[in-house]
Amino acid sequence: PLNLSHAQRHKRPSTTLYLLCAYAHSCVWSPQEADGQDRLGLHGEGEADMEGECKAHTPDMPPGDGNTPQCLNRALEGLSSRWKNWWIRGILSLTMITGFFLIIYLGPLMLIFVVMSIQIKCFQEIITIGYRVYHSYELPWFRTLSWYFLICVNYFFYGETVADYFGALVRREEPLQFLVRYHRFISFTLYLAGFCMFVLSLVKKHYRLQFYMFAWTHVTLLIVVTQSHLVIQNLFEGMIWFIVPISTVICNDIMAYLFGFFFGRTPLIKLSPKKTWEGFIGGFFSTVVFSFLFAYLLSQYQYFVCPVEYNSETNRFTVECEPSDLFVMQEYTLPATAQNLLRWKTVNLYPFQIHSIALSTFASLIGPFGGFFASGFKRAFKIKDFADTIPGHGGIMDRFDCQYLMATFVHVYIASFIRGPNPSKVLQQLLALQPEQQLSIFNTLRNHLREKGMLPPAVGLKV
Amino acid sequence: MATLSPPRRVLSVRRHLWVVLSLERELDCRQSRPPISLQGSEAEDRVKRDGGVSDSECRPDSGVPEVPVATDDTPEVLNKALSGLSSRWKNWWVRGILTLAMISFFFFIIYLGPMVLMMIVSIKCFHEIITIGYSVYHSYHLPWFRTLSWYFLLCVNYFFYGETVTDYFFTLVQREEPLRILSKYHRFISFTLYLTGFCMFVLSLVKKHYRLQFYMFGWTHVTLLIVVTQSHLIIHNLFEGMIWFIVPISCVICNDIMAYMFGFFFGRTPLIKLSPKKTWEGFIGGFFSTVVFGILLSYVMSGYRYFVCPVEFNNDSNSFTVDCEPSELFQLQDYTLPSVLQSITGWSTVKLFPFQIHSIALSAFASIMGPFGGFFASGFKRAFKIKDFANTIPGHGGIMDRFDCQYLMATFVNVYIASFIRGPNPTKVIQQLLALRPDQQLHIYNSLKAHLTERGLLATQEEAA
């Protein structure tokens, strides 16, 4: 519990001073303030003076370059500050991309593990910001409660996934069967326990703070955990549904930056002054082309295309199957205009490439809104980066802010346009029904299949 | 939006600041004056509690001034009728009359059809909480924000009700062409609608008000999470059978009333610092009386089909029907009493509906966890220094005040049904079956046939597939 003495409490700057600072600060916020593109280079000069007086509510994040490893610093000490930062960012970008491909090579299990760790790190970053904004680091119980809610929600989501995809494994083990059958009830009980702990932990002086942190935790969970869960669901459809969206967003980031750097002139939105229309449009077209080619490249390999399945005999994940229609080359007749241009009549494409155009369009048009949202968030709470995990880039959240909506979009896209229901799940549900219901469904199905000609027609009497 | 030139903007900010400061000075360490209307005995203890505030609580959190106190809203007619009585008993009567009015209204709505009730209630609750947010943050004039909050409410409601309609009105949906397309791409359409709202929010961010706007965004989403999901789950429970809607809500209401009565007559030991008027005697007395009430109410209701049957939509008559063969849960069965009870009551078996056993679980939850929802709402009201959520119901405050204990009940009932009672919905399973590819359907057909033949339900027929 907060044990500040009376004197200490009154030492904090009063509300008036805070409000004055905040308004003054936002008035002089320079339009050249570092945005998403060039964090290290333009550290606003005006900021330093204001920070001293406004310690009350403005969390003081140290600049990113304090975190650069010594070896990089030495190697680049000859260059000017701006190019040095460019090089640091470039090297780290390449490192991250290589790391990404390495993890893909290691397999789906590793990917799941990586997604989970990223999710935990993002959650931690956002919650830490909340603590700083509200000075609530010493609130009784609160750190425990935030992590407890994270564990609960993760347990709920991953339990559902496990129950769906590892049906065979679950049926073998007795305790797992019990956990799966009453999964929702158990998750709800765990959540309730957290809720009761929150209510019991309400302390007279800190009601509002505690409610703020409660809401902050829930909104963070809503954003971070649901997204990561959907990413994993997409992964199980086939690694290509995981790799292509993420690569598309990364490519859009990089391409928009490059186009903006070389051709940028017209500002795009007041929120992020460094973004330009030229970067936006150039990024859009180059991303569509990139994902078109990348999809072509990946569609050929079973490793990427097949749904991830768990083989109960060998106790491992297998990615082997007959590729679905989506990944079988087909001939498309070009429309007349394109025919004149290219002098080809037909072209061999994977149907997935058409879908990838939709995915990349979304990534280029709506992805940046996720970035603007994160920029607005950082402006609102006057922080430069979410954290300092990656030198030159800020925290994990900074890298993943454009991915917010992408995972949900891909999931909704798959559910609406690609995949039907999961047959084993349907069978599972069928076997759980009452016998009369099963019989009636059986008859309906039989008539349906007969109509479709999949079953020989009824001979003689109807049953 | 950003149309004011900088100097004028600073001026309006300064005016804003002055309002905040003057409110703050007024609030700072003054003895809390009694609220303008004493509505019920709860108000007295609120005065007692607020009076004991120390100076460090007087200073509100930076930048977040308090909400003005609610005013007396009792209708004139009641005032005149009760003008003779002393102030305390007058409030008792006002509360009592309104309680009876609400309970009768509740049964009337049950007769009409509860879905409308739930929709109205959830919209009103949402409105109340959002209004509190506006008052707390003085954000009533934020550009776009009122529009955006209602837009998000519409989106989320569209998503949830669309899913419900698709599930339960499957045949109706299949018949009408536009409905079919809407339901097939339902998730995609809902997601697009939500995205539009999200983009509008990002585009509406105004330089001086970033933090406020993010706060309101967060506030809206948390409110949606609480209010809309709960009301959606209530509707789900309703479709299982009206009894699953009536019994939980009645148990919570009964617990409220019984705990109050027991606390009033026997109350001595305080229960929790957050709500000083609650007592252990009230809590325990309320628990036992609610369990008994639940058993009796479910006994009464299990006899009628109107309450027990799942609500279904009849395509031929185009209306809702509640007609079915009651499931095992609602058929009288003999239970052998344990020997302890046998010696007390002298009966060896007792006829009960199995549902009555379930109702014990429901009422136990209502008595034990329901109050936590109430404490949560009390803490919320203390945190934002408001007396009631709104003034919709004289003597009781807003709609949220009445429904605060129901927060968790709806979710619990839904989870309970899903875990212990209901299997999958057959119509939904057929739907999914018909959406599969033909070869998958054939595969399932064969598996099902093998399963049914094993069970002996399928006689061997002349046409072997």
B210 & B275 share domain: no
Task: Judge whether A426 is closer than 8 Å to chain B, CB to CB.
Answer: yes
B294 & B408 share domain: yes
Amino acid at the residue B40: G
User: How many Å lie between the alpha carbon of A322 and the closest alpha carbon of chain B?
Assistant: 14
Cα–Cα dist A151/A191, whole Å: 10
Q: What is the pTM of this model?
A: 0.71
B353 & B293 share domain: yes
The answer as to whether B21 is a domain residue is no
- Closest in B61, B423, B452 to A434, CB measured: B423
Cα–Cα dist A45/B243, whole Å: 67
B265 & B357 share domain: yes
DSSP states of B374-441: HHHHHHHHHHTT-S-S-SSBTTTB-HHHHHGGGHHHHHHHHHHIIIII----HHHHHHHHHHS-HHHH
Residue B232: which of B224, B243, B242 has the closest Cα? B224
B312 & B291 share domain: yes
B356 & B402 share domain: yes
What secondary structure letter does DSSP report for A460? S
The answer as to whether B123 is a domain residue is yes
Q: What is the three-class DSSP state of A42?
A: coil
User: How many Å lie between the alpha carbon of B434 and the closest alpha carbon of chain A?
Assistant: 8
Q: Are B395 and B40 a contacting pair, CB within 8 Å?
A: yes
What secondary structure letter does DSSP report for A327? G
B125 & B231 share domain: yes
* Structural domains counted in chain B: 3
B336 & B400 share domain: yes
The answer as to whether B11 is a domain residue is no
Range of the domain at B331: 253-425
- Among chain A residues, the shortest Cα distance to B57 is held by A205
The answer as to whether B2 is a domain residue is no
pLDDT tens string, chain A, 463 residues long: the values are: 444 444 444 433 344 433 333 333 333 332 233 333 333 322 333 333 333 333 333 333 333 344 456 666 666 666 666 677 777 777 877 887 788 778 777 777 788 888 888 888 888 888 888 777 777 666 767 788 889 999 999 999 888 877 777 766 666 777 777 787 788 889 999 998 998 888 888 887 778 888 888 888 888 888 888 888 888 888 888 888 888 998 899 888 888 888 888 888 888 887 777 888 888 999 999 999 999 999 988 888 878 888 777 766 666 677 777 777 778 888 877 777 777 777 777 778 888 888 999 999 999 988 888 888 888 888 887 777 766 666 666 666 667 777 778 888 998 898 888 766 566 667 767 766 767 777 877 887 787 778 777 777 765 544 4
Residue B193, CB-side half-sphere exposure with 13 Å CA sphere: 18
The answer as to whether B244 is a domain residue is no
Which of B180, B205, B239 is the last residue in one of the domains?
A: B239
Task: Judge whether A219 is closer than 8 Å to chain B, CB to CB.
Answer: yes
Which of left, alpha, beta for B319 (phi over 0: left; psi -120 to 50: alpha)? Answer: beta
Q: In degrees, to the nearest 5, what angle opens at C-alpha B309 toward C-alphas B303 and B310?
A: 155
The answer as to whether B334 is a domain residue is yes
B264 & B366 share domain: yes
Contact A442 B445 (CB under 8 A): yes
B420 & B275 share domain: yes
- Closest in A15, A188, A423 to B443, CB measured: A423
The answer as to whether B18 is a domain residue is no
B356 & B439 share domain: no
Which of B213, B239, B265 is the last residue in one of the domains?
A: B239
CB within 8 Å of chain B, chain A residues 52-91 = 56-57
Which of B214, B239, B264 is the last residue in one of the domains?
A: B239
Cα–Cα dist B117/B115, whole Å: 5
Cα–Cα dist B168/B130, whole Å: 31
Task: Judge whether A438 is closer than 8 Å to chain B, CB to CB.
Answer: yes
The answer as to whether B157 is a domain residue is yes
Contacts of A57 in chain B (CB under 8 A): 62
At residue A150, the pLDDT reads 92
B260 & B401 share domain: yes
The token duo for B341 is 């009870």
